[in-house]
Structure 1
Amino acid sequence: MTSRQRLIALIVACALFMQNLDSTVLSTALPSIGRSFDMDPVRLHLALTSYLIALAVFMPMSGWLADRYGTRTVFRLAIAVFIGASVGCGAATSLPWLVAMRFLQGIGGAMMLPVARLALLRSVPKSSLVQAMTWVSVPALIGPVVGPPLGGFLVTYASWPWIFWINVPIGIIGIVMATIYFENIKAQDVPKFDKAGFLLSAAGIAGILFGLELAPHARDMGPYGYILIALGLAITGFYIRHALRHPAPIIDIRLLKVPTFRVSIIGGSLFRIGIGAIPFLLPLMLQEAFGKSALASGGITFAAAAGALAMKFAAPRALSRLGFRTVLIWNAVLASCSIAVCAAFNSATPAFLMIFILFTGGFFRSLQFTALNALGFADLDERQMSRATGFSAMAQQLSLSMGVTIAALSLQFLPGLTGASTETGGVYDLAFLLVGSIMMLSVFSFASLEAKAGHAVSGHAATAGGEARPPSDPRT
Structure 2
Amino acid sequence: MKETLPPATPTPGSPPAGTAPVEPPPPLIALRPLLWLVAAGVFMQMLDSTIVNTALPSMARDLNQSPLKMQAVVVAYSLTVAMLIPASGWLADRFGTRRLFILAIAVFTLGSLACALAQTLPQLVASRVLQGVGGAMLLPIGRLAVLRAVPRKDFLAAMSFVTVPGLIGPLIGPTLGGWLAEVASWHWIFLINLPLGVLGTLAALRWMPDLRGPQMRFDAWGYVLLAFGMVAISLSLDSLSEQDARRGFMLVLLVFGLAGLVAYWLHAARAPRPLFSLALFKVPSFSIGLLGNLFSRMGSSGMPFLIPLMLQVALGYSPMNAGLMMIPAALAGMGSKRIVVPLVHRLGYRKVLVGNTILVGLAMASFAFISPEWPLWLHLIQFACFGAVNSLQFTAMNTLALRDLDGDLASSGNSLLSMTMMLAMSIGVAVAGSLLGVFGNEALHPLRDQALGAFRWTFVCVGLITMASAAIFAQLPPTRRIPPASVKRADAA
- What code does the residue aligned with 1:431 have? T
Residue number in structure 2 paired with 1:200: 225
**Aligned mate of 2:486, from 449, 463, 469:** 463
- What is the rounded CA distance, in whole Å, between the counterparts of 1:196 and 1:270 in structure 2? 26
CA drift at 1:88: 3.9
Unaligned runs of 5+ residues in structure 2 are 1-27, 442-447
* 1:293 shift after superposition: 3.6
Shift of 1:110: 1.4
Structure 1, unaligned runs of 5 or more: 469-475
Measure, in 2, the Cα distance between the counterparts of 1:451 and 1:182: 45
C-alpha contact (below 8 Å) 2:219/2:274 kept by paired residues:
yes
Match of 2:458 among 431, 439, 442: 431
| 321 and 164 in structure 1: CA distance in 2 versus 1, 3 angstrom threshold | same
Partners in 1 of 2:397 and 2:40 — Cα distance? 19
- 2:267 and 2:335 map into 1 onto residues whose CA distance is 44
Distance 1:411 1:100, change over 3 A: closer
Distance 1:227 1:429 in 2: 30
Q: 1:278 to 1:31 in 2, by over 3 A?
A: closer
Alignment of 1:44-443 (within 5 A): 48-71=74-97, 74-91=100-117, 98-119=124-145, 136=163, 139=166, 143=170, 147-171=173-197, 186-188=212-214, 190-219=215-244, 221-414=246-439, 423=450, 425-443=452-470
Is 1:445 matched with 2:472? yes
Does the Cα contact within 8 Å between 1:118 and 1:386 map onto a contact in 2? Answer: no
1:393-436 alpha-carbon deviations (Å, 9 max, x no partner): 221122122222322333333578xxxx9627344333222222
Which residue in the other structure is 2:18 paired with? none
Assess if the C-alpha contact under 8 Å between 1:66 and 1:386 holds in 2: no
Q: Which amino acid aligns with 1:232?
A: G
Paired-residue identity, %: 36
1:332 to 1:389, Cα distance in 2 relative to 1, 3 A:
same
Aligned residue identity for 1:55: V
CA-to-aligned-CA distance 1:427-461 (integer Å, 9 cap, x gap): 433322222222122222223234569x9xxx999
Q: What do residues 287-331 of structure 1 show as CA deviations (whole Å, max 9, x unaligned)?
A: 333344434333323321121222344344444555544433333
**Letter matched to residue 211 of structure 1:** S
Shift of 1:102: 2.8
User: How many angstroms does 1:360 deviate by?
Assistant: 1.9
Relative distance call for 1:324 and 1:11 in structure 2 (3 A) is farther
The aligned residue for residue 473 of structure 1 is none
CA distance in 1, matches of 2:151, 2:466: 30
Pair 1:48–1:446, CA change in 2 (3 A): closer
Question: What secondary structure, in the 3-state scheme, does the structure 1 residue paired with 2:450 have?
Answer: coil
- Which residue does 2:25 correspond to in 1? none
Give, in whole Å, the separation in 1 of the partners of 2:251 and 2:474: 33
Contact 1:19–1:109 (Cα < 8 Å) also in 2 = yes
**2:300/2:462 contact within 8 Å kept:** no
Inter-CA distance 191–447: structure 2 relative to 1 (3 Å threshold): same
Which amino acid letter does the alignment assign opposite residue 254 of structure 2? I
**How many Å separate the matches in 2 of 1:96 and 1:427?**
26
Q: What is the distance in 2 between the residues matched to 1:394 and 1:373?
A: 12
Contact 1:86 1:167 (C-alpha < 8 Å) held by counterparts = yes
Call closer, same or farther: CA 1:452–1:279 in 2, change over 3 Å.
Answer: same
Q: Is the 8 A contact 1:137 1:369 kept in 2?
A: no
1:101-125, Cα deviation, whole Å (9 max, x unpaired): 4322211111222333445666586
SS in 2 for 1:423: helix
Structure 2: distance between partners of 1:331 and 1:49: 27
Deviation of 1:205 after TM superposition, in Å, equals 1.8
Q: CA deviation at 1:200?
A: 1.9
User: Cα distance 1:382–1:429, how it changes in 2: closer, same or farther (>3 A)?
Assistant: same
1:210-243 CA deviation, whole Å, 9 max, x = no partner? 2222222334643333232222112222222212
Post-superposition Cα deviations, 1:361-417, rounded to whole Å, max 9, x if no partner, equal 21221122222223322222332233223322221122122222322333333578x
Q: Distance in 2 between matches of 1:405 and 1:260?
A: 28
- Shift of the 92–464 alpha-carbon distance from structure 1 to 2, 3 Å rule, reads closer
For residues 413 and 468 of structure 2, the distance between their equivalents in structure 1, rounded to whole angstroms, comes to 24
1:355 CA drift (Å): 0.9
Q: 2: CA distance between counterparts of 1:146 and 1:220?
A: 41
CA contact (8 A) 1:34 1:40 kept: yes
Task: Give the superposition deviation at 1:352.
Answer: 1.0
Determine the structure 2 residue equivalent to 1:472. none
Number of residue-to-residue matches in the alignment: 456
Distance of 2:179 and 2:134 partners within structure 1: 25
The 3-state SS of whatever aligns with 2:393 is helix
- 8 Å Cα contact 1:307-1:360 kept in structure 2: yes
